[in-house]
Amino acid sequence: MSSNQLKNETSPYLLQHADNPVNWYPWGEEALRLAREQNKPILLSIGYSACHWCHVMAHESFEDTATADVMNELFINIKVDREERPDIDKIYQTAQYLLTQRTGGWPLTMFLTPNDQMPFFGGTYFPDKPRHNLPGFKDLLRHVSKAHDEKHEQISTQNDSLRGVLANVYGSTEVPLDLDSSMLEYAAKQLLEQFDKRHGGFGPAPKFPHPANLQRLMREWYHSERGKDEERDLLHPALYTLERMAAGGLFDHVGGGFCRYSVDEYWMIPHFEKMLYDNGPLLSLCAEAYQLEARADFKQSALDTADWVMSDMQSETGGYYSSRDADSEGEEGKFYVWETEELQQLLTEDEYAVAAQRFDFSRGPNFEGSYHLHEFNPFNEVAETLGIEEEVARQRWQRAKEKLFKQRELRIAPGRDDKILTSWNALMIRGMVIAARVFEKPELHQSALRAIDFIQTTLLVDGRLLATYKDGKAHLNAYLDDYAYLLDALLETIQSQWNSDYLNFAIQLAEVLLEQFEDKTNGGFYFTANDHEKLIERPKVSSDESTPAGNGIAASTLLRLGYLLAEPRYIEAAERTLGYASQQISNSPMAHGSVLHCLEEIEKPSKIVVLRGPAADIAVWQQRLQSTFRPDLVSLAIAEDEQDLHPALANKEASEQVRAYLCIGTQCLPAIDNLDQLIKQLAPTP
């Protein structure tokens, strides 16, 4: 009889397994104690609610009584949501790679020794029966259990070795390298070498968005002398990749938002899950791309994404939900695809003609006998083919899109993971405020403010953040990414609309970063706080993954905050982070885009502008400053009647006309009262 312990959890992923015949436990002392007392190895299964192969393995094995009986007899079974416990996931993903020399993923299946939770065998998805050159899961379970019982000495030796390797992976014993701007150029060179000139993106299929790579190229282009062809090419790969992603099936042309990744090189057929953490950075990138080239496709992709988030992913209380599943009714992508007859019945002849040309239905179905919308012909070519104006083509598609959306809403939607994660909310807040000011859409800014308010009132307790919330329960100590991403989002927010409380909140977060997360010996920031639960290792990561590296965001944001507030502790912490990561950056520059932002801002310091004066007048100046792509600019517009300013800002006095106070790194210039003169001073640093 099952004694499944997941029914009281908040994670939708864990709740999906609450009725399994497996004796699942959440990660915690009860399960770890039982493993020690019964001397049973731990079967650790890590996944997330929108994961297609997690669902497959659950259906094949975890819902199967015969498999569950073997699991219950031989193991203590622990189920973990990687989104709620990224600390556990990071450790065991790294261990899986070290043990197997294969990249990880989800579901992650690891077998741990009972006394110390050290992994001695693992993999990802295992089928119920032998196939794909993998053993059947029940057979594997028996072999692993037998190995645990009979090979104590070998496992103990392996564990000792693995423990040492993990310590080296997350350690910081190397002498820091003296990095300079050549490393920024090298990272860009690596990206250009991997750029797919035909279809966009980097490397072969499957293709992931990698926003940090696109941002790195855009920033490197900004600081280059743009008169040379090779330097112009820095911008083309970034914008072309974004263009192809937005035109492709990776983007939901009916409902808005980007899917997780493309299974092919064309960005045509995605893995259909939609993650908040992808859409926040891609929203800001589309907005910044529009600043560089005022193209309708970048604007439409950004606004459609923001509309999807506000209508489908924002809770009534303000926080943003986590994801939409890839599957509905047991089939991946079923919610998103169309039959020819259905399209013809729903659309007028003119509307169908535009859709048929844009998505080239003459090629035939592209996904399991159905059509998944992927743009083959842009609107200007569609209009030329049909002999109509481009704006008419766009209007007809807009009417068609509204009809398709209305019809799609009648379908059974993919499951929504409605937990609210602090870190992912921060990524979306940042995306919303940037898009709001680029496109002058105050409703996007208000959406972001609602999310900030939710975090402050619900996920901030006694000055410390919590990581997750669902159904009235906020819990789990927050991680580095929660603090770093939110600090970054707050700095972006006060550039759109000044708020002293948000600056104070940002300072509060910065102080916790230094007190609880910083490695004061070797530099950089641990993923978990000093008072976090002790695990087999304490991760410290400098490379970007599916989300930007917390160390990179913490360092670059602390650097900017340090320049703004003349706070040397923040600047020094950023510099120490760069020292800690320097050897890893040197080994693989393109994998460290977020940390390289910090190097860039040390080599070419940010320009901090504080505008003081009448509210209406400083708004005009602020709009001018923020109308173009300036990744090295922090600009704050503080009206003359603002009170109780931070001491570093209080001495920047207001007058009847606008005054701009410009500091470049630690060098501050005399007050500037001419807007054109200020713009000239803000020219990019080559």
| pLDDT tens readout for residues 624-678 | 999 999 999 999 999 999 988 999 999 898 888 999 999 999 999 999 999 999 9
Tokens of 129: 């029966």
| pLDDT tens readout for residues 465-520 | 999 999 999 999 999 999 999 999 999 999 999 999 999 999 999 999 999 999 99
Lowest-confidence range among 1-15, 32-46, 457-471, 531-545? 1-15
**Mean pLDDT on 381-386:** 97
The C-alpha atoms of residue 243 and residue 112 are separated, in whole angstroms, by 45
| pLDDT tens readout for residues 583-593 | 999 999 999 99
Name the packing angle between helices 550-565 and 480-496 (round to 10°): 40
How is the beta sheet containing 24-26 ordered, strand by strand?
A: 24-26, 76-81, 42-47, 108-112, 119-123
pLDDT at position 195, please? 97
Give alpha helix (H) positions in 39-80.
52-57, 65-74
The C-alpha atoms of residue 306 and residue 310 are separated, in whole angstroms, by 6
74 band by pLDDT with thresholds 50, 70 and 90: very high
User: 270 has which bridge partners?
Assistant: 262
- Looking at the chain, the whole-number percentage of residues with pLDDT higher than 70 is 98
Mean pLDDT of the chain: 95
Cβ atoms of 484 and 553 within 8 Å: the answer is yes
Angle at alpha carbon of residue 325, lines to 122 and 591, rounded to 5°: 55
Token pair 């509060």 in the structure block, residue:
508
pLDDT at position 212, please? 95
Q: Which residues contact 1 (CB under 8 A, 6 or more apart)?
A: none
Cβ atoms of 666 and 652 within 8 Å: the answer is no
The C-alpha atoms of residue 129 and residue 447 are separated, in whole angstroms, by 48
User: 46 has which bridge partners?
Assistant: 80, 108
Cα-flanking dihedrals φ and ψ of residue 331, to 5°? Answer: -130, 135
The C-alpha atoms of residue 356 and residue 375 are separated, in whole angstroms, by 10
Nearest by Cα to 266 from 286, 247, 285, 252 = 247
DSSP 129: S
| pLDDT tens readout for residues 391-400 | 999 999 999 9
pLDDT at position 132, please? 81
Cβ atoms of 598 and 181 within 8 Å: the answer is no
The C-alpha atoms of residue 192 and residue 221 are separated, in whole angstroms, by 12
171 band by pLDDT with thresholds 50, 70 and 90: confident
226 band by pLDDT with thresholds 50, 70 and 90: low
Q: DSSP string spanning 326-361?
A: SEETTEETTTT-B-HHHHHHHS-HHHHHHHHHHTTG
671 C-beta neighbours (distance < 10 Å), count: 15
pLDDT at position 655, please? 86
Give alpha helix (H) positions in 58-151.
65-74, 86-100, 137-150
- Using CA atoms of 417, 423, 428, 430 in order, give the dihedral in degrees to the nearest 10: 170
183 band by pLDDT with thresholds 50, 70 and 90: very high
115 C-beta neighbours (distance < 10 Å), count: 11
Domains of the chain: 12-170 (3.40.30.10), 182-329+417-603 (1.50.10.10), 336-410 (no CATH), 607-681 (no CATH)
Q: DSSP string spanning 190-229?
A: HHHHHB-TTT-SBSSSSB---HHHHHHHHHHHHHS-TTSH
Taking 50 as the threshold, does the pLDDT of residue 150 lie above it?
yes
Q: Which residues contact 613 (CB under 8 A, 6 or more apart)?
A: 639, 640, 654, 655, 656, 657, 658, 659
227 band by pLDDT with thresholds 50, 70 and 90: very low
Please, what is the end-to-end C-alpha distance for the chain in angstroms? Answer: 69
DSSP 622: H
pLDDT at position 654, please? 86
pTM comes to 0.96
Taking 60 as the threshold, does the pLDDT of residue 1 lie above it?
no
278 band by pLDDT with thresholds 50, 70 and 90: very high
Angle at alpha carbon of residue 392, lines to 391 and 397, rounded to 5°: 95
The C-alpha atoms of residue 469 and residue 84 are separated, in whole angstroms, by 10
| pLDDT tens readout for residues 567-576 | 999 999 999 9
Length of the chain: 686
Taking 60 as the threshold, does the pLDDT of residue 228 lie above it?
no
- Looking at the chain, the whole-number percentage of residues with pLDDT higher than 90 is 92
pLDDT at position 167, please? 87
The C-alpha atoms of residue 446 and residue 450 are separated, in whole angstroms, by 6
The C-alpha atoms of residue 360 and residue 371 are separated, in whole angstroms, by 10
Cα-flanking dihedrals φ and ψ of residue 680, to 5°? Answer: -60, -40
Taking 90 as the threshold, does the pLDDT of residue 321 lie above it?
yes
Nearest by Cα to 528 from 520, 464, 518 = 518
pLDDT at position 173, please? 58
289 C-beta neighbours (distance < 10 Å), count: 26
Pairing of strands 633-639, 607-613: parallel
